[in-house]
Amino acid sequence: MRLSLISVVIAIALQLVACGDVYNNPYTSVSDDKIIYYSHFQEPPKHLDPAISYASDESLFISQIYEPPLGYHFLKRPYVLKTMAASEVPEITPLNADMEKVEEGSDQIAFTRFTIRIEPELRYQPHPAFAKKSDGSPLYIFENAASSENFKVIADFPETSSRLVHANDFIYQIKRLADPKNKSPMLGFMAQYIVGMREFSQQLGKIERNGWVNLDNHDMEGLEVIDDNTYSILINGSYPQFTYWLALHFFAPVPPEVDQFFHNPGFKEKNLTLDWYPVGTGAFMMTKNDPNSQIVLERNPNFRLEYYPKEGEEGDRELGYLEDAGKQIPFVDKAIFSLEKELLPMWTKFLQGYYDRSGEGHSNTHKFFDQAFVIGPNGLEMSEEMKSHDLTVTTESKPGTHYYGFNMLDPVLGGYTEERRKLRQALSIAFNIEDEIDIFHKGTSLPAHSPIPPGIPGYLEGEEGINPYVYDWVDGAPKRKPIEHAKKLLAEAGYPNGREAKTGKPLTIYLDVQARATTPDKQDWQRQQFEKLGVQLEFRSTDWNRFREKLLTGNTQIYTHGWLADYPDPENFLFLLYSPESPLICKCDGANNSNYANDEYDALFEKMRVMEPSPEREAIVAQMLDILRRDAVWMTGYHPLDNYLNNPWLFNAKRHGISKTFLKYVRVDSELRRQKRADWNQPVIWPVVTLGIFVILLFIPAVRAYRRRQNMTIH
């Protein structure tokens, strides 16, 4: 005890000598002449290859580096697409079976051609893969693993170079999606749409491989390079949503030389892969990738001229989001992301000023603050300590829905009879999602009245947007119907007081949840919701794999699930209940886990799917939502609403629900940060000093006792 305490004292004394006035700065060896953005990530990214990655944690990095043809406007809401790598909006040409141009909306459409013109001045970041010998052949191509032995990480290659983006690089990447070796999650889905993708994939699967396969030597039917800056993609039938897909990193350019470079012999064994070291055209490039502790992005010197947007959503000017309008971006030179798995250190570092904002992928505020951070009726409430930090708040409404779904095939709750509908409606009323939001999300979510979240066309504010089977419109706000109404419905459904009318047997309902998504206190609370009706609730919580299996085989009763949109179109939500998407019908990992099958709904869906946005389309969507509410396919749900806290030196921190391309827009006041960090991190030394003195005091009696013992005589 004594010695370890001394070692603490010594160590801390050493620290006193070693650094300045702040001891807990987690950043070492960082030069001050650059403007740095400090942040963190919760999960180490598994994939950074734009053909493979499909997780939101990963898009935090990928979106800063890769540029697909289209992107989203940083400020405007509802979400608006803008050009990114493309120089203009893709040209869409409907074609008939003979490849002749036809009218839009014609029933002869057999194919659609997307023609994309790219920005002519688009350049890649400096990278060794572009370095050339004097004869023009690539410099870093090795015969065998031994000759590249000295290169361990990407920074070990001294020579780098760059080049302009060619239209073929986009085509090359689409071929990479099709290459079975890359195991792209998009392969199966995109093969339904892109002409020739499936055949191409099968053809590649058959060839002999030894090292790099140049995909340029293999042709894919639906892709065509028209000139250096133009290419086209041919789609089966009509699929207007494909434009949105062009805003995802799957369609960003990947140059063949980079692919070749990373297929050098022995590179994979050193984890030198495209999956680890992205190469893009975006505002930033990755200069350090140690996903187990730190990832560093630096400004791409070859980034084209781009300016901060001049217009935004209503209210953006007041929030200061337009102060930098028209200035050249990016504002920061470097971004340091540190791995932070645990929440206590994450919050502590944020409040100590070592992270510029409270989260990247998810804000976590609702999990963490009680009195400190609550969304009340008067807006936001913060604790005194947090107020003293002058934090600002950014709210992000994610285009997503978390829901409790009924399995429509379930013998007790499923089915389409009036009784079953009433039963489900009764449960919907009893399950007070507003309470769940208050208790478990600190008030930072919106109760869902339909699958469609705010910000997506089809979401309606006000009275016409409420679910009339669960809510009443009272005094200008939705009000949950009284529990008596639910009891009445339940009695009409054949379960008075929660007991089966004939036998008196209590109605027991099973909630299928994923074990990690639930906690005992949440289960307690959920049980209480049904107790209000006298209905018993049991939990079948399982691990993710088993949960997935139950969904795929239709072995659920009530399940919880969530959906985050890939693009801002109601189709991306309404397809969740389209009957061919039911796993039992399509024999695939379909998304209609409720196994809902309603012919009327399906017909409307098929109609709206191929329509361009228009009032008629919105009318159809409204009609579809009405059907869903009447059938009560989903018990209830909420739309996540995240609040991110920003330290006072961070500007332009607006959040975009879909796109994560934010880094080039944010601005940091380094001087203010330096001051605040010094203010907030004054160490408390007295406990250590007291402890040291206490230990020294302990020594005195010990030494005396020892002396006495030494001089003791035996009688």
Partner 1 sequence: MKIVVLWSDALIFLLVAVIATFFWNMRKDKILTERWRQVFSSRLGMVAFVVIASYILIALLDSLHFRKALEPVEGQPADQVFYENRATSVLDVLMGDMADENERTYSAPFSLKSFEKVNMKADDGSSIRDFPPLVHAGKHLDDPADKPADIVKQTFIALIIAIVVCAFWIGPQWYFLRNSELPWKSAWIAQAVIILVFVWLIYVGNLYHVLGTDKAGNDVLYKSIKGIRTGVLLGTLATLVMLPIAVTLGVCAGYFKGWVDDIVQYLYTTLSSIPGILLIAASVLLFQVYIDLNPDFFTIGLQKADARFVGLCFILGVTSWATLCRLVRAETLKISQLEYVQAAHAFGVSNYRIIKRHILPNLTHIILITFVLDFSALVLAEAVLSYIGVGVDPAMTSWGNMINEAREELSQEPAIWWTLAGAFFFMFTLVLAANLFSDLVRDAFDPKTVDGGAKA
Partner 2 sequence: MFAYIVRRLIYAIPILIGVNLLTFVLFFVVNSPEDMARSQLGEKYVTAEAIENWKKENGYDKPLFFNESNKGLSSVTETIFYTKSVRLFMLDFGQSESGRDITADVAQRMWPSLALALPTFAIGIWTNICVALLVVMFRGTALDRGAVVLFVGLMSISYLFYIIGGQYLIAKMWRLVPISGFDASIHAWKFLILPIVIGVISGIGAGARWYRTLFLEVSHQDYIRTARSKGLSEITILFKHVLPNALIPILTGVVVVIPLLFMGSLVMESFFGIPGLGSYMLDSIERQDFAVVRSMVFIGSILYIIGLILTDISYTWADPRVRLN
Pick from 191, 375, 489, 620 the residue near partner 2 by CB under 8 A. Answer: 191
Give yes or no for residue 515 binding partner 1 (CB under 8 A): yes
**Torsion angles phi and psi, residue 682, rounded to 5:** -65, 125
Considering only residues 342, 461, 464, 599, which one is a binding residue for partner 2 as defined by CB under 8 A? 342
What is the token pair recorded at 244?
């949105």
Among partner 2, partner 1, none, partner that 508 touches (CB below 5 to 8 angstroms by kind): partner 1
Instruction: List b or e across 211-241, with b for residues whose CB sees 16 or more CB atoms inside 10 angstroms.
Output: eebebeeeebebbbbeeebbbbbbbbebbbb
Site for partner 2 in 147-186 (CB under 8 A): 180-181, 183-186
- Range 375-379 contact pairs with CB under 8 angstroms and sequence separation of 24 or more: 375/442, 375/443, 375/444, 375/643, 376/443
Which residue's CB is nearer to partner 1, number 85 or number 537?
Answer: 537
The residues, any chain, with a CB within 8 Å of residue 519's CB and separated by 6 or more, are: none
**Cβ neighbours for 641, distance < 8 A, ≥ 6 positions apart:** 395, 396, 397, 398, 444, 445, 446
User: Cα–Cα distance between 154 and 278 in angstroms, integer?
Assistant: 10
Span of 126-134, 269-277, 436-444, 531-539 interacting with partner 2 by CB under 8 A: 269-277
d(CA 194, CA 346): 43
The DSSP bridge pattern shows strands 536-542 and 392-397 to be: unpaired
Instruction: Establish if 703 lies at the interface with partner 2 (CB under 8 A).
Output: no
Of partner 1, partner 2, none, which one sits near residue 473, judging by CB under 5 to 8 A according to partner kind? none
Q: Would you say 215 or 372 has its CB closer to partner 1?
A: 372
CB neighbourhood size of 481 (10 A) = 20
In the complex, minimum distance from the CB of residue 691 to partner 1, in angstroms, rounded to a whole number? 21
Q: Which two tokens stand for residue 120?
A: 């002519």
Q: Which of 21, 29, 137, 700 binds partner 2 (CB under 8 A)?
A: 29
Binder among 227, 314, 370, 599 for partner 1 (CB under 8 A): 370
Q: Which is nearer to partner 2, 540 or 546 (CB)?
A: 546
When the beta carbons of 489 and 513 are compared against partner 1, the nearer one is: 513
What's the rounded Cα separation, in Å, for the pair 560 and 636?
Answer: 10
Which entry of partner 1, partner 2, none binds 713, CB below 5 to 8 A by partner kind? none
As measured in angstroms, the least distance from the Cβ of 144 to partner 2 is 17
Residue list 70-109, contact with partner 1 (CB under 8 A): none
Contacts with 214 (C-beta within 8 Å, 6 or more apart), sequence order = 256, 260
> Which CB, 209 or 367, lies closer to partner 1?
367
Q: Which of residues 532-571 bind partner 2 (CB under 8 A)?
A: 544-545, 548-549, 566
Q: Is 491 in the site for partner 1 (CB under 8 A)?
A: no
Spatial separation of the C-alpha atoms in residues 401 and 573, rounded to whole Å: 9
The interface region with partner 1, picked from 61-69, 130-138, 161-169, 501-509 by CB under 8 A, is 501-509
55 contact choice in partner 1, partner 2, none (CB below 5 to 8 Å, kind-dependent)? partner 2
The two three-digit tokens of residue 415, written as one number: 């089915």
Q: Decide if residue 210 touches partner 2 (CB under 8 A).
A: no
User: Minimal distance in Å, beta carbon 346 to partner 1?
Assistant: 8
Q: Which does 156 bind (CB under 5 to 8 A by kind): partner 2, partner 1, none?
A: none
Site string for partner 1, 674-693 (x = CB under 8 A): --------------------
Check whether the bond before 330 is cis (ω within 30° of 0): yes
Cβ proximity to partner 2: between 327 and 367 the closer is 367
In terms of C-beta density within 10 A (0-12 exposed, 13-18 middle, 19 or more buried), how is residue 39 classed?
buried
248 interacts with partner 2 by CB under 8 A? no
* Binding to partner 1, residues 326-345 (CB under 8 A): 342-344
Q: At residue 543, what are phi and psi to the nearest 5 degrees?
A: -75, 170
Binder of partner 2 out of 126, 240, 265, 345 (CB under 8 A)? 345
Minimum distance, C-beta of residue 351 to partner 2, in the bound complex (Å): 9
- Count of residues binding partner 1 (CB under 8 A)? 53
Rounded-to-integer distance, Cα 310 and Cα 64, Å: 21
Contact stretch for partner 2 (CB under 8 A) within 59-67, 164-172, 264-272, 426-434: 264-272
- When the beta carbons of 183 and 516 are compared against partner 1, the nearer one is 516
Structure tokens at 435: 């309470």
Residue 82 interacts with, from partner 2, partner 1, none (CB under 5-8 Å by kind)? none
Binding status of residue 615 toward partner 1 by CB under 8 A: no
Q: Are strands 392-397 and 400-406 parallel, antiparallel or unpaired?
A: unpaired
Per DSSP (E only), the strands in 2-156 are 36-41, 70-72, 81-83, 91-95, 111-117
142 token code pair: 């090795």
Q: Which does 715 bind (CB under 5 to 8 A by kind): partner 2, partner 1, none?
A: none
Q: Which CB sits closer to partner 1, 138 or 496?
A: 496
**Position among 23, 142, 212, 368 found at the interface with partner 1 (CB under 8 A):** 368
- Residues 380-399, one symbol each (x = binds partner 1 by CB under 8 A, - = not), give -x-x-xx-------------
Please state, in angstroms and rounded to a whole number, the distance separating the CA atoms of residues 330 and 283.
7
582 burial level (CB within 10 Å; 0-12, 13-18, 19+): buried
Cis bond leading into 78, ω under 30°? yes
Under 8 Å between Cβ of 295 and 278? no
Say how many C-beta atoms besides its own lie within 10 A of residue 519's C-beta.
11
Tell me, residue by residue from 30 to 69, as one string, x for binding to partner 2 by CB under 8 A and - for no binding. --------------x-xx------xx--------------
Residues 527-566 touching partner 1, rule: CB under 8 A, are: 528, 536-543, 546
Token reading at 479: 């009000």
Q: Which two tokens stand for residue 369?
A: 């603050």
**Residue whose CB is less far from partner 1, 343 or 696:** 343
Asked if 591 is part of the footprint of partner 2 (rule: CB under 8 A), the reply reads yes
Q: For binding to partner 1 (CB under 8 A), which residues are involved?
A: 342-344, 347-348, 367-374, 376-378, 381, 383, 385-386, 438-440, 496-497, 499, 501-506, 508, 510, 515, 518-525, 528, 536-543, 546
